[in-house]
Each structure stands twice: as structure tokens, then as C-alpha cells.
Structure 1
Amino acid sequence: MFTSEKFALRKVVDDNLSVAPSETRSNLIKDHQKPFHSNFENLGKLYFDFTSPGVQNTSKATDFQLKEDEKGSAFSSLGIVKDYASRPRKMNADTMNVPSSNNEDPETNDQKLSTTARIRMASQEFIDSYSSKDDETSQLSHPFAVSFSGLSDDEAKDIQLLLTLLASAEKTGQKQFKCALKLIELCSNMSLNEGNPVERLVYYFSEAIHMKINREMGRLACNERESMQIFDLREALMNVDTCISEFHLKVPLSQVCQFSSIHTIFENLNKATKIHVIDLESCRAGIQYLVLMQAIASCSEWHIDHIKITAVATSSDPKIKDTCKRLADFAKSMNIPFSFKIIMIGDVLDFNVDMIERNEGEKVAVYAPFFLSTLIAKPKSLEYLMRVIRKIKPCITVITEVEANHTSSAFVDRFTEALFFYGALFDSMSDCLADDDLNRKVMESVCYGKAIRNIVAADGDERTIRHICVDVWRKFFQRFGMLEIELTDETLNETNLVIGNFKCGNSCSVLVDGGCFLVEWKGVPIFSVSAWKFI
């Protein structure tokens, strides 16, 4: 009989399977284009900036004070609920089509299993396999015998690879490092950063587990594979910003977040004659404000006396000054009175309301994409910032964040949550970008690879990349008297039109969760967009 300790990873995997969203292709709205959407589409080819959720503050971390709700009841048997794949999502959706033993020949199945579906199938097999093994490492060369019929050779190979990765994570969580390293070696032999999405995913996760083991054993030597990869991408890494911006032009997830956020700000300004938007750490290209200004200018009945943008930044970046000039030139071409101010602070605790220049009659909005989560590791700074925002008294605060739970102190929890999350991201890159696309390679190497290593391998103060789900943010915001504002049907319709512009857009969808939007890839939540007012 297995001990409760040995159930650790299996319980976390089971929890993820039991709530795993089904894969679905949303019906996109194909009605006539509206002015705001047209403005966004026309500006889409301009330099697009999007702060990566994978690159975050590296200051010291402390335990975040908010905790996720406890998950379900304790894992009490070796079996797994067999109908996990057909369980409904949080909202109504189609169920995932998973091949079974009575499927037709795989060549007749036109629908290729997504990366996330392969992870789910591997997870089910992982739990079932352990239920019938006393010594799961007795045959390390083939630790699992995948017997799924109805799968292509590539799909079966990927599931075998994922099973080996899951086994290495469980052994690492049990501190059986010798066995874990043997399994990691198998993963290394079967995965490449140039392979398919599963191979690339396993490449980065096995690298992170190896780093975790090295740290646990007091060995901090540089990972040879990582060094080789960086060397191969040296030329591209010299121009990371361009690669990242090009990446976000081709993958819809980021543009959907940015568009729905700006449309929500547009709606809540409510024809104000004096507009002031306070931007927290996202104003390096400013396309969102080009969209906003053109949308306002297109409303003939909306008279504008002045638009002001205040960019708050914690790191010096010459691109912000370039953005200032570009926005000013654009505003001039639209005959819009405009001003731009940069507030540079060394630390959030240096920020105060007196730094914000307010004019009488201004209507203020705060836009904070992917910034609050950088302060989860510094709860005092996060709470301080929220108090400053409350003093500013904005009419609307729009927040975009990663929709995942990467804050657990337990290794197996973080590993499993991250595996499902980044599996969906890698799948989106595979669908939207060519296998040899340099922008994809840079994004995976610089942003996602770095984030995976930090989430999986680091502990305590060194674990600086932390994300929480929107339900946890809701509890946090309630403490500051914030009321969630429902994003409108018009914003949803316009956002779906943006999604429809992408060739791979049928895999991206927006789910309404309470008042906010969850931006999903094949049914897996990736980002949340929410709007708030202070009571």
C-alpha cells in the first residue's frame, strides 16, 4: 500500500484533471465591424508591446498572504475518475474528444490532440500505472508501457515522454534524487528545444527539475544545455524586444487582453472632456493609446479638451520616451490636445499620490497589465500600491493578470499547475508560428523557459515569479473596497472580432467569469481581464 507522501503528485494531478477545462472551438461572432474594432485592426501592424508574464521582478520574496481555497477532499484511493475528460467546465462548453480503445484507426481521426490533452492523458496513465506497481523504477529504460489505442505514433511518444517527466517530478518531491536524475536523463535524451510542443515543454521542465535537484544537493553549476541554447540564440537575444513584439503580433492571446482592456477604459470614460490614464509599467510602445485616441476621435459628438497619459515605471527604458513622442505626434495628427508624463521610481514604496499631476475636471483611469503579480512576492509593496491607487480615486481600474496558481510552497503543486499552464502556451505557439520561427524560440527561451525554471526550481526568497487566479484577486481587492464591474457584451463582441482576424483564432476564446473575461486557449484559461471601481 502506498504511503500518503507517495500520493503527493498523484493527488495534485488528479485535482487538475478533475477540473480540467474541455477543449472547444468557440463560435466567433461574425457580424459587421464596429468603429472601435476597426481602429484596433488598422493599428495592428504598428510596433506592439506586451509585458511578458514570464519576466518579472527579481527582488526578495516573502510568502504571499492570500491563500487559495483548499481543493476538494483528500485523495483516498488509487483510482482516478474515469470520466474526467467529459466533465463540464466552469461555464457550459463542449466536452473534450479523447481517443479511446474503440476508436477508429488514428489516420481517420482528423483532430490532432492538443498539448494539454496529451498532458491529461499522460496524467491519467501516470496515476493508473502507479496503482499497479510496487516498484515503478524497476525498468527505467521503459518506465511506462503506453497502451492507448487510437493514438498516432507521435501522440503515443509524447505521452510516454510526459509520463517519464511526471515520474521524475514525483521522485524529486520525495527527495529520491538518484532515481529522479535517471528519469531526467531519459527526458533529456528524448526532448529538444527544437522539437514539437511536448518535446520543447519537457525540455524546459526537465531542465528546471534538474536545477531543483542541484540546488537541493548543494550543486549550483550552470546547466550545460541551457548554455548551449543561449549560445545558439545569441544573435536573436541581442534584439529580444523586437522578437517579443513580433511574437505577440502573431499569437492572439496578448492582443485580446490589450484590446478588451482598452475598450473597457473607452466605455468608462463616458465622453469626458478631460481624460487622464495612469499606466503601470506597460507603456513601452503605446499602441493601446493610439487605439484609444483614434476611437475617441472617431466619435464626432465627443469633444475632447485634453488627454493625458502618466506612465509609472520602476526601470529606466528609453522606449518610453520614444513612445511619448510617437503618441504626441499621433495626437497632433488627430487634433487632440495631449500630454505625457513619465514617473520613474526605484521602488513601489517610493510612489505616492502627490507625484500624479491632477487637473480639475479630469476623469482618471488606471491601467495595470501584469504588474500586480510582480508584487506578490512583496506583499507590503502590493498593499501600499493599492492604497495609493485608492487615493487617486480613478473612475475605473483595469487589471490584466495570468490566470494560474503558481504560489504554492509545495513543489509538486507548482510543478503540476505550471505544466498544464505552459502546455497550453506552447500549444498556442505551435499553432500560430512556424517550427523554425525565431520569435518563438526567443519567447520560449528568454521568457517562458526562465519562468518555468523559477517556478519549479526556486524556493523561498528566490522564487519571485508567482501568479494567482482571479478568484484570489477578488478576495484581495475586497479588502480595499473595490467593486468588480462587469465587462460589457459589446466589449465581448468586439473582442471576438479581433480573435477572428487570426488564422489560429478558432483556438482562442473568451469566457465570461463573473464580471471578468478569461482569455483561453483551447479551453485552458491563460489570462484574466477585470475592471474595478472603489466604493
Structure 2
Amino acid sequence: MASYDQRAVNELLKQIRQHSSPHGDATQRLSHYFADGLEARLAGTMTPSYSPVASMQTSAADILRAHRLYVTASPLKKMSNFVANTTIMELAKDATRLHIIDFGISYGFQWPCLIQHISERPGGPPRYKSQQLSFPNEVFDLQKGLKRPGVKWESIRVEDLNIDRNELIVVNCMHRLRHILDETVMVGSPRDRVLKLIKKINPDLFVHGIINGTYSPPFFVTRFKEALFHFGALFDMFEAIVPREDQWRQIFEREIYGRDIINVVACEGLERVERPETYKQWNLRTLRTGFKQVPLEQDCLMKVKSMLKLTGYHKDFKIDEDGEWMLQGWKGRTVMALSFWKPA
């Protein structure tokens, strides 16, 4: 496939299709979406219309329901949001003005709990200001049901953000910096430029959540194998916690995991926007930009570990800690990580 041997790949795809299905077990579903990616690559379509949000074929309401299933059945995002919000609330407990700048808000599930908590704060809530910076390629407007262009993050200027230095400033970026191009495709890495922008904002706290992945190299065979391991763990997770016939599971797998897989397998160069790094790579990149880590709150970390055990989640979900990163995984494979930073 890496050399585009069309005849051999067509035969391989034929065999895969005989044993794959979007409605089967985890392996069959995984095979189905990787076959879709191989077909797109072979056809040369390279999915130029790809964006890290769902397609127009599925309604916004159905995507929200599918996300609700994911958040309910899996603790991954829920625990990340809990630790992030708890850390923000502790930092802002005496603040009179709180300004949150959210890079890549997605559907905004993180914020209702935080807003409710600060609104009930003894002595009254702080003055709250929030700015949501959409993903630079496209965002999905839930109210209007259409896609609209966002702004390239690396082109944003600090003066565009209307910052008041009397505010407590939090920059939040959960799992979206993987969609920013890196130095393998563009001189002067946009990824580093975004981190430099965040440093220039000079936040009191930078919340950095990542998808932990090694399926980003420009070499196709290596990328394909690493993506199989990563997404194999995610499909296996769903197989263990959600019935196969659940329609919202099928929608989530198709519109989220399936689209990511197609992009990783079919696309090259600027068209490939799924570019995760490991937390250790992000750690070096963020340190190099001039940040220093804020230690994880151990009480908060112990609380989420207890919540994981006491709330009935599957035993194969794990939370660990390494170098002030909270690691979340499935069956020993780290799939998400979270850390906190401030300018050095």
C-alpha cells in the first residue's frame, strides 16, 4: 500500500471486506474503517473535505447524543474535565475576575459544571469572561446546523483577545493541538507558534489536555501500524462497555473514530490533520517554548482514582501519573494525558 501496488491492495481489501462490518465486534468494526481509509488512499481522493468535526450526513442532535453516550460510558473526558475544572476553581477561589480562553471548545461540555460552581461561590461569583477559539479549519455551528470557517490559531494576536491584566487568565486546550500542523510539513512549526502565542498571553494557568498517540510519522507503514494499536484500544473499549446494537455507539464510531482513521490512512501532507504526539513529546515541546509545569493536586488525583473505582466503570480503565501528567488509559495503553503549565 505504501508503494500504491493497486492490484495487491485491491485483493487485500476484498479479503478484509469479507470479514469486516461496522456492526460487528470490535475487530470487525476496526477493520471496516481501516478498509475505508485504504480505499480512499487507493482512489487518490485523500478526503480533502475532512475536518475534525462530524459530517453533514448526521444531524447535530444525533452527534450530541453520541457524544453523551461516550461521556456517560467512558470516564476519559469526564475525568479530564473534572481535574481541569477543579484546578481552575482552586486557582480562582479568591479571584474577582476570571477570563478563560478556550482553544478548540468543540461542544463545550467542560464548562457548565465550572460555571455552576463559581456562581455558587461564597461571597459571590467573580466577573466571568469566556472566549472560545474554534478549530482553524472548520467548526460546526450547532444552532444553525452548518459548517463555518474558523481562525488559524497561529495567526491570532494577543491584542485580538481583549485581555485585562487585572483578570485571572486561564488558557484551556483540551485534545485539539493535535490538529495543528507541525514541522514535518511546514517550516516554522505552526504548533510551536501556537504555544508561543499562549506564552505571550501570559496566563496564570495553561490547561493542556492531549490525545496520546504515536500515529503521526510521515512514513505510511509506521503510521498505519501505530494507528491500528491506538484505535484498536478504543474500539475494544467500546466493545466492553456499550452493546453492539447501540445506535449512538455506531454513530460515534463512524463520525469520530472512523473519520479520524480515514484521515490518518488516506491523507498526506497538509490534508492530514490528525497528528497526535505522546505526552513526553508535548512535555519537551512545551518546556522548550518557555513554560514550567504546575504540580498536579494530589488530593484531586486521589479523588478521581476513587471515583473511577466507586462509580462502576470498567476495571480496565486506568489513571496514572508520570512527571506531573495525569495519564488515562485502557488495558495499559495510555490514550489521554493532562497537565498544567504557566510561563517560566
| TM-score, normalisation: structure 2 | 0.84
1:432 and 1:375 map into 2 onto residues whose CA distance is 31
2:275 and 2:46 map into 1 onto residues whose CA distance is 25
> C-alpha deviations, 1:216-259, integer Å up to 9, x for none?
xxxx599xxxxxxx9xx967687323322333222221212221
Root-mean-square deviation over aligned CA pairs: 2.9
2:66 and 2:310 map into 1 onto residues whose CA distance is 21
SS at match of 2:300: helix
> C-alpha deviations, 1:137-178, integer Å up to 9, x for none?
xxxxxxxxxxxxxxxxxxxxxxxxxxxxxxxxxxx3465543
1:361 matches 2:205: no
1:293 matches 2:115: yes
1:305 and 1:294 map into 2 onto residues whose CA distance is 12
2:276 and 2:105 map into 1 onto residues whose CA distance is 18
1:371 to 176, 191, 194: 176
> C-alpha deviations, 1:168-207, integer Å up to 9, x for none?
xxxx346554334323211110111110001111111123
1:248 and 1:415 map into 2 onto residues whose CA distance is 27
Residue 201 of structure 1 corresponds to 30
1:176 and 1:380 map into 2 onto residues whose CA distance is 33
Matched to 1:423, the amino acid is G
Q: How does 1:88-487 map to 2 (within 5 A)?
A: 172-173=1-2, 176-215=5-44, 220=45, 239-282=62-105, 284-285=107-108, 287-296=109-118, 300=122, 304-313=125-134, 314=136, 315=138, 318-319=141-142, 346-377=151-182, 380-487=189-296
In the alignment, is the contact (CA less than 8 A) between 1:428 and 1:521 conserved in 2? yes
In the alignment, is the contact (CA less than 8 A) between 2:195 and 2:289 conserved in 1? yes
SS at match of 1:531: strand
In the alignment, is the contact (CA less than 8 A) between 2:69 and 2:249 conserved in 1? no
1:458 and 1:405 map into 2 onto residues whose CA distance is 16
Residue 49 of structure 1 corresponds to none
User: Number of matched residues?
Assistant: 327
In the alignment, is the contact (CA less than 8 A) between 1:278 and 1:312 conserved in 2? yes
2:96 and 2:300 map into 1 onto residues whose CA distance is 22
In the alignment, is the contact (CA less than 8 A) between 1:404 and 1:526 conserved in 2? yes
1:299 and 1:490 map into 2 onto residues whose CA distance is 20
Larger radius of gyration: 1
| TM-score, normalisation: structure 1 | 0.56
Query: Could you say if the C-alpha distance between residues 530 and 461 of structure 1 is closer, same or farther in structure 2, counting changes exceeding 3 Å?
Result: same
Query: Could you say if the C-alpha distance between residues 417 and 429 of structure 1 is closer, same or farther in structure 2, counting changes exceeding 3 Å?
Result: same
In the alignment, is the contact (CA less than 8 A) between 2:46 and 2:267 conserved in 1? no
1:404 and 1:349 map into 2 onto residues whose CA distance is 23
Q: Which runs of 5+ in 2 are unaligned?
A: 48-53
2:214 and 2:81 map into 1 onto residues whose CA distance is 22
> C-alpha deviations, 1:426-453, integer Å up to 9, x for none?
1111122111111111111111111111
Q: Percent identity?
A: 22
Query: Could you say if the C-alpha distance between residues 211 and 310 of structure 1 is closer, same or farther in structure 2, counting changes exceeding 3 Å?
Result: closer
Residue 114 of structure 1 corresponds to none
The runs of at least 4 consecutive aligned structure 1 residues that moved more than 6 Å come to 235-238
Matched to 1:245, the amino acid is R
